[in-house]
Amino acid sequence: MRKEFEVESHKLANSIDDARKRSILLFVSYITGSVMLVYGILHLFNHNHLLLLILFGCSAVFYGNVLFYHLTRRLNEACEFESILVGTFVLALVYQGGHENTALYWVFPFPAILFGLLGVRKALVMNIILLILLSVMLYVPGFIEAQYADAEKSRFLVSLSLVIIVSLINDFFRERSHMAMSQVQQSREKQANTDVLTRLVNRRFITVSLPKYLNQNPENFLPLAVIMCDLDHFKKLNDSYGHECGDLALKHVAQLFLDHLRQQDIACRSGGEEFLFLLPLCGVMDALHVAEKIRAALVETEFSYQGQPIPLTASFGVSLCKVSNGLDEAIKVADLKMYEAKQAGRNCVR
Ligand SMILES: Nc1nc2c(ncn2[C@@H]2O[C@H](COP(=O)(O)OP(=O)(O)OP(=O)(O)O)[C@@H](O)[C@H]2O)c(=O)[nH]1
């Protein structure tokens, strides 16, 4: 379960990157789509049917891609398609020469757009492919319609290579610093939610982080079984064998709890010798069974300190959280049941 939460926090960090991709996708699509549309309208009456087809077709494809994104929310696919569209557009422009042979100028924003849409690795590959294609187009005689001067061609390719290298350095370090920040954030979040002694999650996780996940995806949790567990006569153990022995006992039981819970269950050290288990998608009967299994395992598994076996038992209270805002109440009920178990003589489940 904790792994899932880490993935969740990683996803959160990536959402900033997605927002950047989305902005570039929308900007490039709407600008290019609109420019093509306006050019198409301006050329509507000059009877060049092929030009009209290209202009309106281009506009429709750019708008179509952004529509695809709005309908499906598949950002990566839309960005990949967008980069192929823009690449084809740029190559076609260089082939034809553009207005007054100015096509080469329009290639310069392309590397930055690619890095924005695709991320470092894919964008680098695409940029290299573009550079090779442009070199072939410009230097193989008769390959393209437009004519460019030799000095113009070489200066263009050198400047474009520089733009690609600078964009690469810029994006590589931006991506690295973003990753480092997200790792720091993740590890801070993890530390704040972890009990230092047992390495189980702490009360903060239950009160601050879990309700967020519970509200976002109740179907992944509810019904959520709650088991409150309190070690019996722990003060006596501390008094008889010392605090260090008490700490080792807490670590021992924490491991035992993890061994007896499912991967998706949450084991929390909610206080000194008090633990809370949260079992997603689990009914009361199953939770009673799990609590009983852990109680028995605690009795059967030997804990020893300095070669001396020390018996450990615990009392358990079980309740069920059925609605996403019902966790506090369910914890209170489990606590009351656990006190009932204490009253009933300890080492039992209620
Ligand atoms: N070693 C150690 N002891 C702790 C820690 N946290 C709390 N305790 C001790 O746990 C004991 C809890 O005592 P009580 O609340 O009286 O409960 P109990 O002795 O277990 O009695 P019942 O719960 O009624 O069975 C106290 O002596 C605390 O000092 C810890 O991190 N390490």
Question: What local confidence, expressed as pLDDT, does residue 3 receive?
Answer: 54
pLDDT digits (tens, 9 = 90+) for 217-231: 899 899 999 999 999
For the chain, give percent helix, strand, coil, nearest 5: 70, 10, 20
Predicted local distance difference test score (pLDDT) of residue 301: 92
> Using CA atoms, how far apart are residues 89 and 108, in angstroms rounded to an integer?
13
- State which residues of the chain have pLDDT below 50: none
How much is the pLDDT for 7? 53
- Give the mutation target among 197, 235, 252, 315 for probing the ligand 1 site: most ligand atoms within 8 A of CB: 235
Whole-number pLDDT of residue 323: 94
Active site annotation includes 4? no
Within the chain, all domains assigned CATH 3.30.70.270 are found at 201-343
Instruction: List the beta bridge partners of residue 266.
Output: 278
Whether 238 is in the pocket of ligand 1, judged by its Cβ within 6 Å, is yes
Question: For residues 96 and 279, what is the distance between their CA atoms, to the nearest angstrom?
Answer: 65
Residue 243 Cα: closest atom of ligand 1: 1
* Residue of 199, 202, 231, 273 to mutate, ligand 1, most atoms within 8 A of C-beta: 273
Per-residue CA distances from 77 to 13, 66, 69, 303, 311 (Å):
20, 11, 8, 56, 60
> What pTM was estimated for this model as a whole?
0.66
Model pLDDT for residues 327-346, shown as the tens digit of each residue: 999 999 999 999 999 999 99
Cα end-to-end span (Å), the chain:
26
Instruction: Please tell me whether residue 29 adopts helix, strand or coil conformation.
Output: helix
Looking at the CA of residue 247, tell me the nearest atom of ligand 1. 1
pLDDT in tens, 177-189: 888 888 888 888 8
ipTM over 0.90: yes
Nearest Cα residue to atom 11 of ligand 1: 235
Position 213 scores a pLDDT of 86
Architecture of domain 201-343: 2-Layer Sandwich (3.30)
Instruction: Using the mean position of ligand 1's atoms as its centre, give its distance from the Cα of residue 49 in Å.
Output: 86
